[in-house]
Amino acid sequence: VPVLLLVAAPYIRSYVAGGRCQSAARLDGKVVVITGANTGIGKETARDLARRGEVIVACRDVAKAEAAAREIRAETGNQQVVVKKLDLADTKSIREFAEKFLAEEKELHILINNAGVMLCPYSKTADGFEMHLGVNHLGHFLLTFLLLERLKQSAPARIVNVSSLAHHGGRIRFHDLHGEKSYNRGLAYCHSKLANVLFTRELARRLQGKSQRPVEFTANALHPGSVHSELVRHSFLMTWLWKIFSFFLKTPWEGAQTSIYCAVAEELDSVTGQYFSDCQPAYVSSRGRDDETAKKLWNVSCELLGIQWD
């Protein structure tokens, strides 16, 4: 058995690693914003894209982000890796980030909504939203809204939303969005990842519906795979399991491949409203294809954030 395992190990690792982005597309003169890019797949996405063009690392922990940016600058030789403060658990911080970004940057070509929280004990954001919904969905919803015109002005442009296979276990509980009646942190994560898929679907529909030209503005979602990262830090059990089974998990670099693919692959120039895994289209749950729920979630999100987004 040990010999068989040794022989099979490279094949197992190859299968676990999944698809890789083959595109060599350059991003010279283009601007990319990546949320949560100080660790995990966000950092690896930033590292790759920094070899192609300008990258703005938008993070809550500025010190950690600066350390990551210094490392990426040294490795890639690209000095255009900039850190900006962004706390997705606070709409005031999101608005301040957007205001400064719009004042300093005249273009934005790729927005990668990567940051996320997982398995948090029950807590709320600064605005009273359940933490998973607030950070993973509402924070990125507001950020995208605030940066949308700059993206449109910079077209062709792309929005990439990092969701998860976990969306299959989610549902949008409109009667208890903030988990005040009942709360399960695993399900709360699933619900927020479903919200990412539905947001992507509705955003793509709205953007397509207002243009008679070929698609110049795309929005796609993705599952990065099961990645050995800090995302499970709120669960001792998951952290322990992740260490034991790390051989069967993607590395952050492997997990970043589909994010990179959705951001740069030339064959996706006119593809929008889709969901990817391992750098190819993937199956979306029936709840993730429910247009009525997507529309309702859009309207409820606008109400919660106090914005009008038609």
List the catalytic residues.
Answer: 189
Name 281's bridge partners: 276
- Which two tokens mark 252? 């952050």
Distance separating alpha carbons of residues 89 and 76, to the nearest angstrom:
31
User: Which H or E element spans position 276?
Assistant: strand 275-277
Beta carbons of 237 and 250 less than 8 angstroms apart: no
Which residues are within 8 A (CB) of 223 and not within 5 positions of it... i.e. 6 or more apart? 163, 164, 165, 167, 258, 275, 276, 277, 282
Query: Could you give the C-alpha distances from 161 to 213, 223, 276, 304, in angstroms and in order?
Result: 24, 9, 10, 20
Query: Could you give the C-alpha distances from 24 to 20, 51, 260, 264, in angstroms and in order?
Result: 12, 10, 11, 8
DSSP state of 215: P
